[in-house]
Amino acid sequence: MTAALVPLVVLLPLLGAASALILGRHRRAQVGVSVAVLAAVAVVAGVLLATVDAGEPLAVTIGAWPAPYGIVLVVDRLSAIMLLVSAVVLLVVLIYAVGQGVADRHRETPVSIFHPSYLILSAGVFNAFIAGDLFNLYVGFEILLSASYVLLTLGGTGERIRAGVTYIIVSLVSSLFFLSAIALIYGATGTANLAQLSVRIAELPENVQLILHLLLLIAFGIKAAVFPLSFWLPDSYPTAPAPVTAVFAGLLTKVGVYAIIRTETLIFAEHDLSMLLMVVGGLTMVIGILGALTQADVKRLLSFTLVSHIGYMIFGIALTTQLGMAATIYYVVHHITVQTTLFLTTGLIERFGGATSINRLAGLLKASPLLGILFFIPALNLGGIPPFSGFLGKTGLFLAGGEEAAADPATAWLVWVVIAAGAITSLITLYALTRFWNMAFWRPRDDLDGYESVLLGSVLEAPEGATVTATKTTPRLMVAATTVLVVVTLLLTVFAGPIFGLADRAAANLIDPSVYISLVFPGGAP
């Protein structure tokens, strides 16, 4: 019965996007459709998670074509968790965007285009999470990427076009890698079905496996912004409107991480590249956070912390143990919510303070204590201060690392080095965010030269620059949406036990690929 709900998570947003496009001239109806659709998907995702966690994983064949030929949609615990978290985050950010759109109606945020693109982006994200074959995963990626191109260049100002060109070309290259990998994998195994691949890839010669594995990792690594392939992210994300940046930062990179999890635990379960992943994960952490140290603009600072914290997830995946995987899943959930919250708060700071650079912000704590709380809690959370979920996630990862090091003395030194890198990265994250806090929130307003004329100063300094915007009214809806997400991050801490238990059960399914295979092929893979 609940199996019939599975295609809805993709169908509802797509139908919603079509209706939103038709209703382009009726702003209220459009907003109503978008909010209703995402709320419905969140409910469906909740039902799916409850069903799946009760021990009834779902596999749906579309059009009744049998598994290896037709399209299979698979919902196991990991998929259901990702669906629920992304649906909730997408819904809250949509409400934030509605609040912002109601407040300012100028040509940089043409809302009639925003809603359909946003729903199509959601459809792509959901499709990627339930795809049961590699080609459907590719289609999901393309749907979300096409929508993200539109959202990133919304309004078509010079700055956004410049940032958009970088992002689009990098994404296109990554898609070409992915498609070539699918072609070669199909040529080598004769299938694109994930469950069937898991069996057939293991039968290939070692060298062929290595090439295919690396091709897929490069394609997903660009999307997840893993170190040598992460250069594009801090240049392209910060220029977009605040809600768009928040969704991109929270979700799009995690879709890449999700694909890497599937690659490592299912497709190439037998083929081990964990040493490479561990090195790359460590480098992503350290080099990403070193970039954040020198940034004055908080949006760029957060983009660098985003890159850096992807490294933790890659480290968790590289451990290939159940505890490592469970900690990774918990960390992904934590990071989606906390990173989105921080970008939403930055949007509030930009409206309230008129700027995002620490050189132009001061005295915010006195001016708005609520804004201080909304920034302070997620900032400490991201930095990994106990008792927040960031601390729990990192502790889980380090514990798993310690176990792995004890179990395998040959690579123990590497694990310890990466754990040390993780601890240092956590401290530097805290330092970077504290620096912003001290300057923007604690520094008295009088210390800021020429505070009265923020706008005039920026115009004199850089007539063409757009880093400074005028202070606008802060709508209650935006504050409310941000508050809701902060509460969600706190709930992740309060209910850490049950959530980690769920992540642990999901990890148990992932560690043993035969669970996934028997789900798609109850009689064994052909």
Partner 1 sequence: MTGSLTLVILMAVMFGAGISIMLERSLTRVLIGFLLVGNAVNVLIYLMSGAPGLAPILGEGVDPDEISDPLPQAFVLTAIVINLGITAFMLALIYRSWWLAQLGAKGDLIDDEEEDLHDAEEAADLIRISAEDDAAVQEIIEASDEEFVDSLDDELELEASARDDLERRGPSTGGSRPPEDER
**Which residues here bind partner 1, judged by CB under 8 A?**
69, 135, 139, 142, 146, 149-150, 153, 156-158, 161-162, 164-165, 168-169, 172, 176, 179-180, 182-184, 186-187, 192
| CB of 149 or CB of 451, closer to partner 1 | 149
| CB of 10 or CB of 326, closer to partner 1 | 10
- Residue 459: CB minimum distance to partner 1, A: 14
Rounded Cα–Cα distance for residues 40 and 89 (Å): 13
Partnered with residue 297 across adjacent β-strands are 357
Rounded Cα–Cα distance for residues 30 and 32 (Å): 5
| CB of 8 or CB of 120, closer to partner 1 | 120
Rounded Cα–Cα distance for residues 271 and 210 (Å): 8
Strand, helix or coil at 74?
strand
Supply the DSSP string of 18-29, one letter for each residue.
HHHHHTTT-HHH
Strand, helix or coil at 467?
coil
Q: Which of 12, 250, 261 is CA-nearest to residue 137?
A: 261
| CB of 148 or CB of 493, closer to partner 1 | 148
| CB of 80 or CB of 182, closer to partner 1 | 182
- Taking residue 449's Cβ as centre, other Cβ atoms within 10 Å add up to 9
- Residue 140: CB minimum distance to partner 1, A: 12
- Residue 44: CB minimum distance to partner 1, A: 26
Give the pair of three-digit tokens for residue 435: 């620096």
Partnered with residue 133 across adjacent β-strands are 193
Supply the DSSP string of 358-411, one letter for each residue.
TTT---HHHH-HHHHHHHHHHHHHHHT-TTSHHHHHHHHHHHHHHHHHHH-GGG
- Residue 100: CB minimum distance to partner 1, A: 22
| CB of 153 or CB of 328, closer to partner 1 | 153
| CB of 177 or CB of 304, closer to partner 1 | 177
| CB of 177 or CB of 258, closer to partner 1 | 177
| CB of 141 or CB of 441, closer to partner 1 | 141
Residue 62: DSSP 8-state: G
86, 126 Cβ separation under 8 angstroms: yes
- Residue 243: CB minimum distance to partner 1, A: 21
- Residue 167: CB minimum distance to partner 1, A: 11
247, 119 Cβ separation under 8 angstroms: no
| CB of 119 or CB of 400, closer to partner 1 | 119
Identify the helix (H) or strand (E) that includes residue 58.
strand 58-61
- Residue 294: CB minimum distance to partner 1, A: 28
- Residue 18: CB minimum distance to partner 1, A: 16
| CB of 85 or CB of 222, closer to partner 1 | 222
- Residue 173: CB minimum distance to partner 1, A: 8
- Residue 104: CB minimum distance to partner 1, A: 18
Partnered with residue 72 across adjacent β-strands are 61
Nearest-5° Cα angle at 253, 247 to 259: 130
Q: What sign results for the dihedral spanned by CA atoms 97, 103, 105, 106?
A: negative
Q: Which of 221, 204, 310, 327 is CA-nearest to residue 264?
A: 221
Residues making up the chain, counted from first to last:
526
Tell me the three-class secondary structure of 175-228, residue by residue.
HHHHHHHHHHHHHHHCCCEHHHHHHHHCCCCHHHHHHHHHHHHHHHHHHHCCHH
- Residue 241: CB minimum distance to partner 1, A: 17
